[in-house]
């Protein structure tokens, strides 16, 4: 018998190939005339959309070994994954008594997509726009390919500029048509005619479709430059402050919403929450809920929140101090050691985070250093002065003498003074030497970590020497 089959089981062609030939061959008995039908069958590729359908009869004349059938691929400009369809051989009914089909009676044809939808990104990382401009047009480009229609999503992210107060933010979908390479996203800017510091917000691109990719510049910062006239001295003072007035105005959520936000990861924005956000949320859950119980700022113009916050801070400070004292007694620490270690750390850690927030929000380190000195002043003048004043008044009314034993106070003051002088000298060097970046905070990594090491070493030496003096291991008469 004559055996008829495809020459290969699989063929892979590019989408732009157009027409190509597929070989059908006959072996075995070559004497009779053989007629077979070739028909296309859909796979993931669809007839009419991805290829031209075939349904024809191929005739092998006597002694003819090969025949070819022409297959045509439809080339579009739409990106799509690789697709396939099939060619099937069948004997013509009622004929070919001396012919059979071989093992390769079905051929798979894979269409390799050669459309490149490209990469989508912002044209640049930042833009500057005047507040009075009314809007900003953010350029978005498409490069390394522009075939087909692709879409992607965008969203605005509040930073110092706030949506609804400084600009009209939101999210949406943008579409590049076939061969388009540059679009402009228009974002309205709100001019409040109030002098204020420059503010900024961010725009992010994500979730592209149809094979497109998001490039490296997927987030861009838009800075709104203030161009309002400074009409009064008060306007100038408001601009010099680091407070975002709009950030204070938008705290109009109810008490219940405030508690709900505190109990949610990343303030309820789970889409942008990172693993670090989840970890910090569970570690700080108690404190977040505790402070969320304070009344919102809009009640009684913020005075209720202000005094409630003071009361909460005083309460927490007292609790921390008492717990530290009790812990010191349990482990057998001297009262002096407990005071300069556990109690001091408990009351100073909040100041540390406050100083960090201050330096991140200012152009210089004045607020950071000033916060530290102000905190120490409150601890000394108010924390010590007020109890001593009350004790002095009490003893004066009783005609008695108020005596306080100095103990190792002289040694501690001397050690602290030496450490303070070294720390101030380090700050002076950092301000004036280029190797430190000529700044009290920040600078090159090597000198930055060196400064941290020196300051931590001063604290460790102060604690160590004070402990040795307190327990009588070393003596110093002062």
Of the listed ranges 20-24, 151-155, 347-351, 429-433, the one predicted with least confidence: 347-351
Q: Is the model's pLDDT at 247 over the cut of 60?
A: no
How far is the C-alpha of 136 from the C-alpha of 447, rounded, in Å? 41
CATH number for the domain that contains residue 136: 2.60.40.2030
> What proportion of the chain, given as a percentage, has pLDDT over 70?
91
Asked if the structure places residue 54 within a domain, the reply is yes
Together in a domain, 170 and 57? no
Of 39-43, 145-149, 243-247, the least confident: 243-247
Listed in sequence order, the residues at least 6 apart from 158 whose beta carbon sits closer than 8 Å to its beta carbon are: 169, 201
Provide the pLDDT for residue 339.
78
Choose between 253 and 87: higher pLDDT: 87
Number of domains into which the chain is organized: 3
Of the candidates 70, 89, 112, which is a domain's last residue? 112
Tell me: do 135 and 217 sit in the same domain. yes
Tens-digit pLDDT profile for residues 452-461: 999 999 999 9
Rounded mean pLDDT, 336-349: 77
CA–CA separation, 226 vs 407, rounded Å? 58
Residues 55-91: pLDDT tens digits?
Answer: 999 999 999 999 999 999 998 877 788 899 999 999 9
Q: What is the pLDDT of residue 324?
A: 75
**pLDDT of the residue at 171:** 93
Is the same domain home to 64 and 25? Answer: yes
105 and 190 part of one domain: no
- Are residues 97 and 124 located together in one domain of the fold? no
**With the C-alpha atoms ordered 278, 282, 287, 291, is the resulting torsion angle positive or negative?**
positive
The confidence score (pLDDT) of residue 58 equals 93
* Of 92, 112, 132, the domain-final residue: 112
Side-chain half-sphere CA neighbours of 229 within 13 A: 2
Least confident of 45-59, 79-93, 215-229: 215-229
pLDDT in tens, 268-326: 767 667 888 888 888 888 888 888 888 887 778 778 888 888 788 777 777 777 787 78
Say if residue 34 is in the same domain as residue 15.
yes
Q: 55 and 149: one domain?
A: no
Structural domain that includes position 53: 2-112
188 contacts 222 by C-beta, under 8 angstroms: no
Confidence of residue 228 (pLDDT cuts 50, 70, 90): low
For the question of whether the overall pTM of this predicted structure is more than 0.75, the answer is no
Both 123 and 105 in a single domain? no
The answer to whether 30 touches 63, Cβ cutoff 8 Å, is: yes
Asked whether residue 394 is domain-assigned, the answer is no
125, 225: one domain? yes
Question: Does residue 107 form part of some domain?
Answer: yes
- For residues 184, 150, 116, 107, the Cα torsion angle rounded to the nearest 10 degrees is -170
- CA distances 70 to 20, 55, 178, 252, Å, are 6, 11, 30, 71
Do 23 and 124 lie in one domain? The reply is no
Looking at per-residue pLDDT, the higher value among 239 and 280 belongs to 280
Do β-strands 106-112 and 10-14 pair in parallel, antiparallel, or remain unpaired? parallel
């Amino acid at each position: 018998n004559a055996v008829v089959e495809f020459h290969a089981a699989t063929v892979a062609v590019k989408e732009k190939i157009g027409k190509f030939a597929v070989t059908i061959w006959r072996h075995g008995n070559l004497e009779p005339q053989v007629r077979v039908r070739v028909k296309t069958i859909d796979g993931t590729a669809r007839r009419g959309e991805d290829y031209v359908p075939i349904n024809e009869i191929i005739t092998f004349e006597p002694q003819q070994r090969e025949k070819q059938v022409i297959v045509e691929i439809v080339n579009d400009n739409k990106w799509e994954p690789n697709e396939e369809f099939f060619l099937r051989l069948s004997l013509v009914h009622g004929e070919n008594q001396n012919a059979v089909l071989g093992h390769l009676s079905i051929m798979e044809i894979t269409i390799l997509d050669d459309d490149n939808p490209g990469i989508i990104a912002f044209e640049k990382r930042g833009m500057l726009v005047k507040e009075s401009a009314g809007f900003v047009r953010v350029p978005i480009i498409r490069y390394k390919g522009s075939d087909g229609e692709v879409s992607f999503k965008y969203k605005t992210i509040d930073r110092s500029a706030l949506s609804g107060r400084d600009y009209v933010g939101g999210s949406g979908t943008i579409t590049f048509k076939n061969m388009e390479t540059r679009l402009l996203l228009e974002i309205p800017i709100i001019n409040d005619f109030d002098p204020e510091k420059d503010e900024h917000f961010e725009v992010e691109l994500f979730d592209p479709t149809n094979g497109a990719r998001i490039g490296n510049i997927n987030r861009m910062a838009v800075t709104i430059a203030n161009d309002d006239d400074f009409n009064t001295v008060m306007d100038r003072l408001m601009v010099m402050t680091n407070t975002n007035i709009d950030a204070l105005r938008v705290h109009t959520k109810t008490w219940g919403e405030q508690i709900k936000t505190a109990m949610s990861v990343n303030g309820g924005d789970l889409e942008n929450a990172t693993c670090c956000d989840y970890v910090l949320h569970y570690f700080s859950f108690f404190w977040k809920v505790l402070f969320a119980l304070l009344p919102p700022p809009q009640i009684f113009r913020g005075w209720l929140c202000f005094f409630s916050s003071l009361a909460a801070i005083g309460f927490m400070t007292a609790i921390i101090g008492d717990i530290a004292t009790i812990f010191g007694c349990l482990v057998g620490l001297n009262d002096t050691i407990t005071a300069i270690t556990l109690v001091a750390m408990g009351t100073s850690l909040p100041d540390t985070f406050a100083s960090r927030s201050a330096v991140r929000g200012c152009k210089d380190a004045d607020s950071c250093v000033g916060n530290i000195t102000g905190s120490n002043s409150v601890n000394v003048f108010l924390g010590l002065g007020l109890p001593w004043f009350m004790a002095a008044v009490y003893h004066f009314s009783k005609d008695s003498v108020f005596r306080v034993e100095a103990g190792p106070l002289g040694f501690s003051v001397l050690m602290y003074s030496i450490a303070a002088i070294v720390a101030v000298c380090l700050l002076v060097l950092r301000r004036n030497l280029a190797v430190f970046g000529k700044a009290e905070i920040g600078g090159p990594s090597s000198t930055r970590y060196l400064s941290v090491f020196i300051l931590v070493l001063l604290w460790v030496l102060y604690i160590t020497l004070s402990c040795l003096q307190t327990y009588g291991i070393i003596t110093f008469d002062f």
